[in-house]
Structure formats: structure tokens, C-alpha cells
Amino acid sequence: MSVEVKLPALGESVTEGTVTRWLKNVGDTVAADEPLLEVSTDKVDTEIPAPAAGVIVTIAAPEDSVVEVGGLLCVIGTEAAAEAAPTPAPPAAPAPSAPAAAPPAAASGFAPPTTPPQGGFAPPPPVAGSTAGAAAPAGVAAGPQVSVAPSGFAAPSGYTSPSFGAPPANSPAPGAPSAAPPPPPPAAPVPPAPAAPPAPQAAEPAVVLDEAAGFAALAGVAGGGGDASADTHEVTLPALGESVTEGTVTRWLKAVGDQVAVDEPLLEVSTDKVDTEIPSPAAGVLQEIRVAEDETAEVGAVLAIVGSGAPVAATPVPAAPSPVTAPVPAPGPAPVPARAATPEPRDETGVADAVPHHAAAPAAANAPVAPATGAAVYVTPLVRKMARDAGVDIADIQGSGVGGRIRREDVQAAVAAQGAVAAAAAVAEPAAVAVAQPAVAAGYEPPPDSDLRGTTVNMTRLRRTIAARMVESLQTEAQLTTVVEVDVTRIANLRNARKAAFREANGINLTFLPFFALSAVQALKAYPVVNASIDLEAGTVTYPAEENLGIAVDTERGLLVPVVRNAGDLSITGLSLAIADLAERTRSGKLSPDDLSGGTFTLTNTGSRGALFDTPIINAPQSAILGTGAVVKRPVVVSDGEGGEAIAVRSMMYLALSYDHRLVDGADAARFLTAVKTHLESGDFGSDF
């Protein structure tokens, strides 16, 4: 039987996707859940796994094709179909070494071979203007042999390179005899040194390139003489969201003249909603950068040019004849050891988990990504960004995926191992500080000095957006704040009793935040004016039918507010899982534009950093935002149940509601806060577990 692999739904407004890379070919055996291909949409890049084990029978959507959601990508044959799959051709024998270089007088009489290479594969003819197949100039020795594919690789009959397409129509069919097919070209000819001795008669060692490089050499690209216009590709700014029309180049990861591979990140772009990397559409040389760092480009604008020739305005410098060797990248700067993160005081309200504590050293963060050496394993842009944000060298990570591919789990394991080493180093530190400074409490370590002291830096796109929207919110809405005090002792006791079992069942910590969220959305149902929005120009007030709760998350890049949709329909467990998922995806940079839109009310937990309360600014066009302060124990006056009073130690916190007085009156705000307070102090949360 056979199984069809179709493009799944990848978001609410995503209707199609582009096949960017096939990880498997027809005839390959795949396991269940093994990645088959990579698909790019307007919002996310993702891998499509195999739904079943078997053999790939057909690929229906080639690379760079656009497929609608539900469209057929490929067909996998299982069991019987796998047995009927054609057996791959045996590897072809290695090509013999190149013959000894002919004397200069015989160079002009060079004749191409009359039989195709082994394996039945006829190379495509050289492109116009290339030096492939041309007679070598007098006095120039023939270069070393260049094999088409890795050692032991035999191109199957009818194979065409996915990178270069099918041969021209007038070229002979693969495996067919030809009177004079073009020969494999020599390496780029260079003038010999004046006193150079004749080339030795012994054959020079063959240099084995990868498949793409071999086809490029056969097509005359490798010896094209540095033509900047040969086989160029424009790198454009893609659509990064429904309402995103432009982006700012924050950092170039490659410089003009650098070699780049297909899908290798070229630059980082920041928009109002997301930060992302732009990969190279083709392998070659970065010839031109058209948009510099900190410049803004519209969607569709050309950012750079990648081609097979030399960079624009670059002049090739002749060199003395020498054996062709694989390029060795220049050594990069020595890695700067990261200082162990200083633990920060926090309560257990939940948002602190959304703040990453693994910032890379500034020097490492601004350094360009070094090209991989040897048989480099492809790394997706998301995984590469995750490793860079965590301060982990991607070259030091051992991939656990198919073919050694590095996956998200590998980066997370490397981060955990790095944290364990830092913790062990901190434990091993001698307690000399406590002896030298007896006034300092034991175990206290002051935070390290920031590297930003004494510097001036450009604002990021996200910081400029936050600045503009906060000022706009204060200037367009009549904002004020009301505060109430809440006794959350019952919730604290319930949480202490259930948190171990909750973590075992759900894999996350039970914090105070879902209790605050549940109480807030229940009060929003009773007082929808706090959940509403106003349009003065139209003279209307909109009361949403659902409670879409924004959760303010503090990140190193700035404040982001992902949205829990239909929060009013969720329980404590449901809210806990939704908030934890949003916090994790915010921390790892995996949010889509849809995750940041559609909120009707916002919850900000400034108590996670120890603040008692603050006066938060409304996330316009919403009409209110609730700030939750730190939960602290302090003595309060309580009723003893017999008409008397007593002083007891209770878990207390403050709720601060900022609201738009154009729509919400003070009495409305007080009623809403009282409802939240009553639910927190008297609600039956035990039934949610």
C-alpha cells in the first residue's frame, strides 16, 4: 500500500507553502516521523515528517514549488510497495586520475573524449562565456581532475541536478553515445611563474567536490573567470506577516566576497512583530549588499545579490600554479568565555520563566557566522538562531537527528550542559569573598558590570516600536490606575499541596499566574466594558464575544505580548499549559505574527521581579491592563471567627488595574477589581485539578 504525504495546516491564515528543500529523494527508505522536506510559509519555516515508514515512490512537489494546504507532496510506499521499488544502481568505479600534462606545443591540439563518463551520465555543455572545454593556452599545464560526485557516488540514469535543472534540449540524453561531448573542464587556468619547471609527468591528485560543486564545474561556473553577472540570484525581503510591510536589517552575517551555501543565513531582519534570518536562495558568492545594517527595506526589495562569479568590483589576482586544495576558512577570533549568569531574586508567579538567562557575550553575538568546514551538517535557521541566542557554538553540538542533523533538542541539551558546568564552577569557587568582606551576607554575589556601560548603540526595531506605541497609548487614552490588596493564602496553600503532582502530570511548574489569569477572565465575562475597545471616529464601542488574554513577557530584546485565545474557556491546567507554551516560544523566537495579535485584555506580572505594584501602560487599542505584584508574607489583621480580631502572617499581593477613562469609569474599574479579588480569596480552585 502507499501513503500520501500532504501539506498540513500551518496556521490560521496560512493557505499555502513553498517547498524549500527535500531531505530525501525518490527511492530513499524513510522511518516514521523522519523529516522528509522543509516548507516555508509567510509566517513559519518547518519540516514535514513521514507519516509512515517505507520508500519514497514519487515526489509530486519539487523544490521551489508552491503547494496549497492539503496538496500532495509525495507518496510513500509501505511494505509491498517498498519491495517493488527499483534497486539503486551499484556505485560506479572511481574515475581514473588525469593523465600527465601535455607539452605546451600539444596543448592546442587537445581533443575531448568520445565516450561519456562512467555511470552513463553525460555532463551538460558549458555555459556561454566559460572556459570549460576550451583549448588551454600555450604553456599552461592541465589542471587536476575534478570528479562530479563524492567518492563512490553514481548518478542514477536520468538524474538531473536539483540545483541546476535539466540539460538543454539539444544536449544528448543521459547515457547516449555522443560524437564529441564536452569534457570535464580543468581547474581555472592561471599563468605560470616565469621560472616554473615543466609540469611533472605524474598525475596530480584528484580533488573530490560535492555534487553541487561538481555540476558547477561541469557547467563552466567554477572556471568562469569571476564574471559577476553569471548565474546571479536576488535576495529579497519576504513577506513576514499579514500587516508587515517593511523590515530593518539589524545584522549582516556574511560580507561581500564570502562563500555561502543554499539556505545558509545571510542576515537578520527585524520587523514590528518578529525578528528572523533571511537565508541564501542559492549557493555561490555574496557579490553585493544593497541594504546596509540599520536601513529599512520594503517587502520584496532586493537586499543582496548572490552569484557564481566574483564580487562586484573585485579583481582576480593571478597566482602561481599549485595543486588545487579545499579552501580553508580563516581562523575566527577566539571565543569569549561567557560569565555564569547571576541568579536573580524572583517569586513563583510564573513570568520569570519567560526571561532567558543565557545571553551570549556581545562580541560573540556580533561576530559573523563562520562557514562550516568539511562535511557540514545542515542546520535550520530556527535552530541556528536558538543556538546563537543561547551562546552555544553550533560546531560543538553533536546532532541526534538523521544524518547527524542538529535539532532543537540537541541545542537545549547543550544549554543545559553549559548551565551545569557553570553551576559546578560556581560551587567550586573558594569563599574568599566572604572572608574579605565580612559585611556581605554569605552566598551573596553582586551582579557583574554590564558591557553597555559607556557605550552608545542604535535602537533595535523592536525597541523603537515599543517606544512609539507606549507614547501613543498615553497620548490617545485617558489612563489612570486603581489598586486593591488581595489575600492569596488559600491559593498558596493549595499550590504547595498540588505542585508536585501537577508537575509530574503536566511537565511544568504550577505558578500563581494561571490563578490570576482565571480570576481575571471570569471577571471580564461579568464586566465586559473592561474587555471592550472604543473607536471615537466611528463613535462605536466593540464588546468582543471572547476573552483573548495577552501575557506580557520580558525578553532580552524587549517586551512582547503573545495572546492566549479564548482564555475564558480554559481551566487552571489549560491556562498553565497555554502560558508555558507561549513563554517558551517567546524565549526561543518561534512566535508567529498571529500569536501577537487579537488580544482584548492584557496581564503583566511585574511581581516576578519583586515589584509590589506599578502603574502599567495600556496595550492600545485595548481599554485595560492588569498588573500583578509580588506575593509576600506579612502580618495582617484577620478575623478570628468569633467576632474578634487577630494578627496573622498571610500571603498578600497587590492588583493594579490601569484603564481608559474614556470608556471605563472608576466605579467599573473598582467593581472589576473587587470581582477578581473575591474570586482569588474565595473561589473553589480545587475542582480544577
Residue with cell 564552577: 425
Mean pLDDT of the region 224-246:
70
Per-residue pLDDT for 590 more than 90? no
Mark whether 640 and 497 lie in a shared domain.
yes
Mean pLDDT of the region 100-108:
41
User: Do the strands 601-604 and 549-551 form a parallel or antiparallel pair, or are they unpaired?
Assistant: parallel
DSSP 525: H
Q: Is the Cβ–Cβ distance between 516 and 486 less than 8 Å?
A: no
> The C-alpha cell of 251 is what?
545584522
> Is the pLDDT higher at 505 or at 440?
505
- The residues, ordered by sequence, that sit 6+ positions from 540 with a Cβ below 8 Å of its Cβ are 534
Residue with cell 489569569: 517
How distant, in Å, are the alpha carbons of 480, 486, 491, 603, 680 from that of 654? 16, 6, 15, 13, 12
Mark whether 498 and 615 lie in a shared domain.
yes
Instruction: For the chain, give the mean pLDDT.
Output: 73
Mark whether 490 and 412 lie in a shared domain.
no
> Is the pLDDT higher at 577 or at 199?
577
Stretch among 172-186, 283-297, 306-320, 675-689 having the lowest mean pLDDT: 172-186
* H or E segment to which residue 236 belongs: strand 233-236
Per-residue pLDDT for 43 more than 80? no
**Rounded to an integer, what distance in angstroms lies between the CA atom of residue 237 and that of residue 235?**
7
- The residues, ordered by sequence, that sit 6+ positions from 547 with a Cβ below 8 Å of its Cβ are 521, 524, 525, 531, 566, 567, 568, 600, 601
Residue with cell 502507499: 2
Report the DSSP beta bridge partners of residue 560.
Answer: 553
> The C-alpha cell of 65 is what?
514549488
Q: Is residue 344 part of a domain?
A: no
Look at residue 3 and give its three-state secondary structure: strand
Mark whether 406 and 554 lie in a shared domain.
no
Q: Is the Cβ–Cβ distance between 411 and 386 less than 8 Å?
A: yes
Look at residue 416 and give its three-state secondary structure: helix
**Rounded to an integer, what distance in angstroms lies between the CA atom of residue 303 and that of residue 289?**
6
pLDDT confidence of residue 248: 85
> Is the pLDDT higher at 553 or at 83?
553
Q: The domain spanning residue 546 has which CATH number? A: 3.30.559.10
pLDDT confidence of residue 396: 81
Per-residue pLDDT for 217 more than 80? no
Per-residue pLDDT for 460 more than 50? yes
What domain count does the chain have? 4
Per-residue pLDDT for 418 more than 50? yes
**Rounded to an integer, what distance in angstroms lies between the CA atom of residue 401 and that of residue 408?**
10
**Rounded to an integer, what distance in angstroms lies between the CA atom of residue 302 and that of residue 235?**
6
pLDDT confidence of residue 462: 85
Active-site option among 554, 665, 668, 679: 665
pLDDT confidence of residue 382: 63
Residue with cell 524549500: 20
Stretch among 110-119, 436-445, 647-656 having the lowest mean pLDDT: 110-119
Label residue 422 by pLDDT band (50, 70, 90): low
Domain boundary among 283, 305, 327: 305
Look at residue 655 and give its three-state secondary structure: strand
Alpha helices by DSSP H, 528-682: 572-587, 666-682
Mark whether 409 and 527 lie in a shared domain.
no
> The C-alpha cell of 100 is what?
600527465
Label residue 117 by pLDDT band (50, 70, 90): very low
N- to C-terminal Cα separation, the chain: 45
Look at residue 262 and give its three-state secondary structure: coil
Label residue 354 by pLDDT band (50, 70, 90): very low
Mark whether 385 and 532 lie in a shared domain.
no
Q: Is residue 218 part of a domain?
A: no
Mean pLDDT of the region 250-260:
90
Q: Is the Cβ–Cβ distance between 41 and 11 less than 8 Å?
A: yes
Q: The domain spanning residue 36 has which CATH number? A: 2.40.50.100
The 10s digit of each residue's pLDDT in 176-201 is 444 444 555 544 444 444 444 444 44
- The residues, ordered by sequence, that sit 6+ positions from 471 with a Cβ below 8 Å of its Cβ are none
pLDDT confidence of residue 439: 53
Fill in the amino acid letter for 584: E
Q: Is residue 189 part of a domain?
A: no
Look up 357 and say whether it is catalytic: no
Q: Is residue 11 part of a domain?
A: yes
Q: Which of 483, 466, 479 is nearest to 617 (CA)?
A: 479
Per-residue pLDDT for 138 more than 80? no
Q: Which of 116, 185, 178 is nearest to 147 (CA)?
A: 185
> Is the pLDDT higher at 221 or at 602?
602
Domain boundary among 47, 79, 111: 79
pLDDT confidence of residue 46: 80
**Rounded to an integer, what distance in angstroms lies between the CA atom of residue 570 and that of residue 564?**
10
Q: Is the Cβ–Cβ distance between 39 and 238 less than 8 Å?
A: no
**Rounded to an integer, what distance in angstroms lies between the CA atom of residue 489 and that of residue 604?**
21
Positive or negative torsion for Cα 49, 51, 54, 56: negative
Label residue 160 by pLDDT band (50, 70, 90): very low
Mark whether 553 and 631 lie in a shared domain.
yes
Q: Is residue 355 part of a domain?
A: no
pLDDT confidence of residue 420: 65
Active-site option among 64, 661, 668, 679: 661
pLDDT confidence of residue 476: 94
Per-residue pLDDT for 241 more than 70? no
pLDDT confidence of residue 132: 41
Stretch among 415-424, 510-519, 537-546, 572-581 having the lowest mean pLDDT: 415-424
Mean pLDDT of the region 384-404:
75
Q: Is residue 14 part of a domain?
A: yes
Mark whether 484 and 409 lie in a shared domain.
no
The 10s digit of each residue's pLDDT in 616-656 is 999 999 999 999 999 999 999 988 777 888 999 999 999 99
Prior bond of 621 cis (ω within 30°): yes
> The C-alpha cell of 168 is what?
538543454
Mark whether 522 and 670 lie in a shared domain.
yes
How distant, in Å, are the alpha carbons of 62, 244, 247, 458 from that of 297? 30, 11, 6, 17
Label residue 311 by pLDDT band (50, 70, 90): low
| Domain, as residue range, for 569 | 477-682
Residue with cell 537578520: 268
Residue with cell 510513500: 76
76 phi/psi in degrees, rounded to 5: -110, 125
Measured CA angle at 339 (ends 338, 342), to 5 deg: 135
Percent of the chain with pLDDT over 90: 36
How distant, in Å, are the alpha carbons of 184, 236, 271, 592 from that of 278? 35, 9, 13, 16
Mark whether 483 and 556 lie in a shared domain.
yes
Mark whether 524 and 668 lie in a shared domain.
yes
> Is the pLDDT higher at 269 or at 168?
269
- The residues, ordered by sequence, that sit 6+ positions from 478 with a Cβ below 8 Å of its Cβ are 660, 661, 662
Look up 661 and say whether it is catalytic: yes
Q: Is the Cβ–Cβ distance between 142 and 186 less than 8 Å?
A: yes
Residue 616 CA to its chain's centroid (Å): 31
Q: Is the Cβ–Cβ distance between 634 and 647 less than 8 Å?
A: no
Label residue 82 by pLDDT band (50, 70, 90): very low
Per-residue pLDDT for 505 more than 80? yes
pLDDT confidence of residue 223: 37
Percent of the chain with pLDDT over 70: 61
Q: Is residue 161 part of a domain?
A: no
Q: Is residue 447 part of a domain?
A: no
Fill in the amino acid letter for 344: E
Domain boundary among 416, 440, 463: 416
Stretch among 7-11, 146-150, 440-444, 640-644 having the lowest mean pLDDT: 146-150
Q: Is the Cβ–Cβ distance between 152 and 201 less than 8 Å?
A: no
Mean pLDDT of the region 155-170:
43
Residue with cell 537565508: 279
pLDDT confidence of residue 471: 96
Alpha helices by DSSP H, 336-405: 362-366, 381-389
**Rounded to an integer, what distance in angstroms lies between the CA atom of residue 120 and that of residue 177?**
9
* H or E segment to which residue 559 belongs: strand 559-560
Look at residue 184 and give its three-state secondary structure: coil
Mark whether 483 and 394 lie in a shared domain.
no
> Is the pLDDT higher at 41 or at 328?
41
Per-residue pLDDT for 11 more than 80? no
> The C-alpha cell of 602 is what?
492584557
pLDDT confidence of residue 290: 93
Per-residue pLDDT for 529 more than 90? yes
DSSP 612: S
Helix 666-682 vs helix 513-526: crossing angle, to nearest 10: 130
* H or E segment to which residue 147 belongs: strand 146-147
Residue with cell 481599554: 623
Q: The domain spanning residue 385 has which CATH number? A: 4.10.320.10
Per-residue pLDDT for 614 more than 50? yes
How distant, in Å, are the alpha carbons of 157, 238, 245 from that of 302? 38, 10, 14
